[in-house]
Structure 1
Amino acid sequence: MNISRHRSLALLAPALLIAVAGCSPGGDGATVAVPSPDARTAGLCRDLHRALPGKLDGFGRDDPEPRSAYTAGWGSPAIILRCGVVRPPKMVDPEVAEGGDPDALAGGVDGVDWLMEKRGDGTWRFTTANREAYVEVSLPEGMSGQEAGAAVLTGLAPSVKKAIPEGIASMR
């Protein structure tokens, strides 16, 4: 583990010590909203879908319904990934950028920057930042602690870095 990874994980600690992002489980008939990205983003998301791991934090891949190149899942209840989502409003809020919003934190894990949002129900959602497509990850309720969230984001980092170039995503 390198020193920048230690700093990155330290930024995640406040968000990950709390129960994180609830979502609809995959593999048991539940559905997940499928994003509708523009053509350029759709291509990046298809590349990401092909690069995603078969196992994530010990959970086997079990994509949610409806099956799509823009969604993926692992475990049950599922860790859900959606690619091509719209930019979260808090991502451009200057209060967030200055660390003034306790419900949204910025941090990085293994070379991928994330916005970590505390949702109204107390769960957390993670969305990539500084990439040409927005990728959202939600962890099921009950999956909490620094180790759980950090392991998931660390497991996804190589795929995100391979498929989604650094840059600015479309303004939608």
Structure 2
Amino acid sequence: MTSSHRPFGLPAATAGVLLLAAVGCSSSGAAASVEVPSPPAAEAAFCQALAKELPDTVAGLERSDPEPGSELTAGWGDGAIVLRCGVPRPEKMSDPTAQGIEANEVNWMLERPEGSGPRFTSVYRKTYIEVTLDERYAHDVTPLADLAAPVRKTVPPSL
């Protein structure tokens, strides 16, 4: 199984499959709070379809949606993994040196914000999906592999 880290500007490579050992984690008991995106209606429809297909567990963590509740957001492990659908296009996508990763045929741009875990934003899809991971996932992209099938099923490629 392979994963590919490459500059974002390169064409998508052959489908990669990620299978990394999930990091053992325990729930903190605190519900995450996130900003709910406000995408255009067409993009919101893709997000609503995605919400219906999201798994009950990701990387071994139980579903625990952030506040406020919305079909545009989802979470697992009390904030360890947070998905937001219909987010604006990140400025970093204009950077030719931005890094990308492919997980089970879904391409993601990688950002490493200071003081937090990695943030991934889908690319080449009809709406942008953001997945933030806490620091335990700094080197583990199993959550992206777990989310790939629902993303592929509900959010068509933009190419």
- Give the TM-score of the pair, scaled to structure 1: 0.74
Give me the whole-angstrom Cα distance separating, in 2, the residues matched to 1:143 and 1:77. 12
1:32 Cα deviation from its structure 2 partner: 0.7
Answer yes or no: is 1:39 the counterpart of 2:41.
Answer: yes
1:109 paired residue number? 103
Superposition misfits of 4+ residues, deviation over 2 angstroms: 25-30, 120-123, 141-145
Q: Which has the larger share of strand?
A: 2
Distance 1:55 1:113, change over 3 A: same
SS in structure 2 of the partner of residue 11 of structure 1: strand
State the match for 1:123 in structure 2. 117
Of 127, 133, 144, which aligns to 2:127? Answer: 133
Mapped to 2, the partners of 1:75 and 1:36 lie a distance apart of 24
Structure 1 counterpart of 2:148, from 154, 157, 172: 157
The alignment yields a C-alpha RMSD, in angstroms, of 2.0
Q: Following TM superposition, by how much is the alpha carbon of 1:121 offset from its aligned partner in structure 2, in angstroms?
A: 2.9
Return the alpha-carbon distance in structure 2 between the equivalents of residues 116 and 48 of structure 1: 21
Q: Give the aligned partner of residue 11 of structure 1.
A: 5
Gap regions ≥5 residues in structure 1:
13-24, 97-103
Equivalent in the alignment of 1:72: 74
Ranges in structure 2 where 5+ consecutive residues have no aligned partner: 7-26
The question of whether the paired residues in 2 share the 8 Å contact of 1:27 and 1:65 is answered with no
Amino acid at match of 2:67: E
- Per the alignment, in what secondary structure is the counterpart of residue 121 of structure 2? strand
Q: Answer yes or no: is the 8 Å Cα contact 1:80–1:139 preserved in 2.
A: yes
Contact 1:45–1:69 (CA<8 Å) still a contact in 2?
yes
Aligned twin of 1:99:
none
Aligned residue number for residue 86 of structure 2: 84
CA distance in 2: counterparts of 1:122 and 1:75, whole angstroms: 16
CA displacement at 1:36 relative to structure 2:
0.4
Distance 1:26 1:83 in 2: 24
Offset at residue 90 of structure 1 (A): 1.1
May I ask how many residue pairs the two structures share in their alignment? 139
Question: What's the TM-score, normalizing by structure 2?
Answer: 0.80
